[in-house]
Each structure stands twice: as structure tokens, then as C-alpha cells.
Amino acid sequence: MKIINLNDNENKLYYIGGVVRDEILGLKSFDVDLTYVGNAIEFAKTLKNAEIIKINEPFGTVRVKIDGKEIDIASTRAEIYEKAGHLPTVTKIGCSLKEDVSRRDFTINAMAKQYNSGEITDYTGGLEDIKNKQLRVLHDKSFIDDPTRILRALKFAVRFNFTLEENTKKLRDEYLKNVNYDMSFKRVKKELIETFNLNSQTAYDEFISADIYKLITEKDIQKPDINIEQFVNKYKNLINPQNIWLIYVGTVRDLENLEPTLTKEEKKILDDFTLIEKRNPQNDYDIYKMFEGLMSETVILYGVMENSDIAKHYLDNLKDIKISITGQDLQKLGFEPSKKFGECFEFILKEKIQNKHLTFDNEIELAKKFFE
């Protein structure tokens, strides 16, 4: 539905990028990008019923509120990559549409659709590539300028079931043989999240076999002999969907480059895995104690990397075992609080792990036995 009311002769406002691609593919878009050929900020000021919410002068972007809905409008802009792998610098606001689309990643993301007339402008052959289900870069330096596009290619390939056009694939493979690690890993992380939160084994297989993982580490990887997608699906209700990517990317053991970009929770998931990975539990109690208190994502990563049976057994059979009696119950039985209480709880827990149907009364009996 059109929110912005334009004069019939206004022809400089366009839908651009992903939203045009998705509409052609018959898919729902995540967000709607609009671009104005000229200065979007000045344009926004002329709009009736539009309240200006936010202006980003250097980028020429503006957020407006119309009928209670917030919309971002960008100015057409030209950019250069002064430092490969980092954010580009804006060199011109209000350039031609052709110049604006030529800074973009793939032909399928470089189409524009006029807001008023719906006419498609396709300077780079995006429609043809959509027909052929291909991802094609716009120039040979694309991956050098912005290596995150290698992950974007993987993401789009999996999302749309597309393949990389021959020269694009060649450029990708050349880059991966000689990665420049002086890049913005914050941007890499964003693409890793968007790629692997799709929970796709196909994406992971390609990530490893095409050496795309070399974007984050120089070290080789030991590919786990397990279908991660199936494993994650089995335990989906235990995983925060925002963390799925960590189960995949956690298999790349050297994550030093990504480390500064990780949140506290993400670090905990990975660090806890490092603490347990070498353990060799001998019985159910050992398994329980090994995983006790850890986030499910850590247990699942262990399942993927080390031994799926142990992790599965914990998640399927042991995770929810808890003893019912408390210190108060022990005091009611006449025992004085001491560190013996802790030992008693462990004693009961050990029994309960062997027989999870123990009742509260059974636990009381065991406590009495313990203090005998």
C-alpha cells in the first residue's frame, strides 16, 4: 500500500534494492527501501502530512512519519571504498539513479521501481539474472571493496536457491585465497547472523567447502560429521532463534576476529563450550554436572562438535531433573544447617538422576538415610 501521496508529475522517488527484488520474486520483503533522485531531506520537507523524525545529513537520509507509519527515504548517493573492507565514504548526495545503483552488491539488488508509475529501471541486468537464478556482482573489485558481499551471496543463494554466476564465483574464490583481515568484523557478524539464523545445512556445507569460513579465520576447520540443521531443529524450542548462527559459526574454533563484536551472552555460550569440550563424563551424574547451568546453545554446540549422544541424552532425559527438598525441609527434620546440607542434596540428586520418579517423600527418606 502506498503511504506517500505524490503529485502525478513527481517521478524521482523509487523503491530500491531488496524490496524490488523480493516483489519480482513474489516474496515478502523484510524492509522497504526508498530512494529519491536528488536530496531526500529537501524532498521530505515538501511532503504534506509528513513529520520529519530524523535526519542523517552526511548520508542524505531522512525518516518521516506519515499516518503513524515511519518510513526511511535515502538520497541517491555515490560512494567510494577508501579502505577496502570498511564502510565506504559518501562522495556525492543526489547523483543519478544509474550512479546510485552502480555502487551496490548484485544485479538483483540494483533494480529500482518508480513509486508513482511502478516502472522498473534495471540498468545492470537484474531481471535477466533473476530469470536465470543467478547472483552477479556489478564489477570485478566488488568483493575486495566489501568482502561481506561473499556472505551476502551465500545468504541470497540459500534464501532464493540461486547460484553464483561464473565470473562472480571466480572473483569470490580468488578473494578467499588471499583474505585481507583488516575489515569491519561488525559487518561480517551481521551477515553471519542473517545467513546462519536461516538454519540451513546447505549454507553451512557451502561455507566450509568453498572456504568462505576463511573470511573469519586463517586456520583450517574440522568439519563436524553431523547435520547441524537437523540437530538444531530437534531442539529448536530450547534455542533463542537469534543464537542459531552461533551453533554453526561456533564450529570455527578460532573466533578471535569476531570476539570484539560478540555480546556477553554470545561470549558465554562459546566460552562455556571451551570449558567443557575436553571432558569425558563417565555416567549420567557426570553428564548432568557437566552441563548443569549452561545455556542450551552451549550444550547443542557440544552436541555438534563432540558427541551428539551425550548432549542429546542430557537434553532428552536429564536436563529437567531437580530435587524437591530444600534446606527448610532438612531443618524441619531436626538437622542443623551446615555444609553437610549441600552434600545431602548432591546425594539425593545422584539417586534422582538414576530414578527420576523419586517423590518428595522418597527424598525425605534418602535425607534421613544420609544423616544416619
* Interface with ligand CTP (CB under 6 A): 17-18, 30-31, 33, 104-105, 109-110, 146, 148-149, 152
Task: Decide whether 244 or 305 has the Cβ nearer to ligand CTP.
Answer: 244
Spatial distance between the Cα atoms of 13 and 19, rounded to a whole number of angstroms: 14
- Read off φ and ψ for residue 263, nearest 5 degrees: -80, 170
**Least separation in angstroms between CB 253 and ligand CTP:** 27
* Grid coordinates belonging to 148: 561481506
Torsion region of 73: left, alpha or beta (phi above 0 gives left; psi -120 to 50 gives alpha): beta
* Alpha helix stretches (DSSP H) within the chain: 18-25, 40-45, 97-101, 126-131, 142-145, 148-160, 166-177, 185-196, 201-209, 228-234, 244-249, 264-276, 284-291, 296-305, 308-313, 327-332, 340-354, 360-371
**Chain residue whose CB lies nearest ligand CTP:** 18
Q: How far is the CB of 233 from ligand CTP (least distance, A)?
A: 22
d(CA 116, CA 292): 59
Check: CB of residue 331 under 8 Å from CB of residue 337: yes
Q: Which is nearer to ligand CTP, 105 or 266 (CB)?
A: 105
Q: Shortest Cβ distance from residue 137 to ligand CTP (Å)?
A: 10
Q: Which is nearer to ligand CTP, 152 or 172 (CB)?
A: 152
- The nearer residue to ligand CTP, 30 or 339, going by C-beta atoms, is 30
CB of 36 or CB of 370, closer to ligand CTP: 36
State the minimum distance, in angstroms, from the CB of residue 92 to ligand CTP: 16
Q: Which is nearer to ligand CTP, 242 or 338 (CB)?
A: 242
Q: Where are the alpha helices (DSSP H) in 197-283?
A: 201-209, 228-234, 244-249, 264-276
Give ∠ CA 305-308-314 in degrees, rounded to 5: 120
- What is the nearest approach in angstroms of ligand CTP to the Cβ of residue 139? 11
Q: Which is nearer to ligand CTP, 104 or 189 (CB)?
A: 104
Q: How far apart are CA 131 and CA 124, in angstroms?
A: 14
Question: What whole-number distance in Å separates Cα of residue 296 and Cα of residue 227?
Answer: 18
User: How many of the other CB atoms lie within 10 Å of CB of 116?
Assistant: 16
CA dihedral 328, 333, 337, 339 (to 10 degrees): -100
Q: Which CB atom, from 84 or from 226, has the smaller least distance to ligand CTP?
A: 84
Q: State the nearest-atom distance from the C-beta of 13 to ligand CTP, in Å.
A: 17
Q: Residue 262 Cβ, how far from ligand CTP at the closest point, in Å? A: 21
Q: How far is the CB of 105 from ligand CTP (least distance, A)?
A: 4
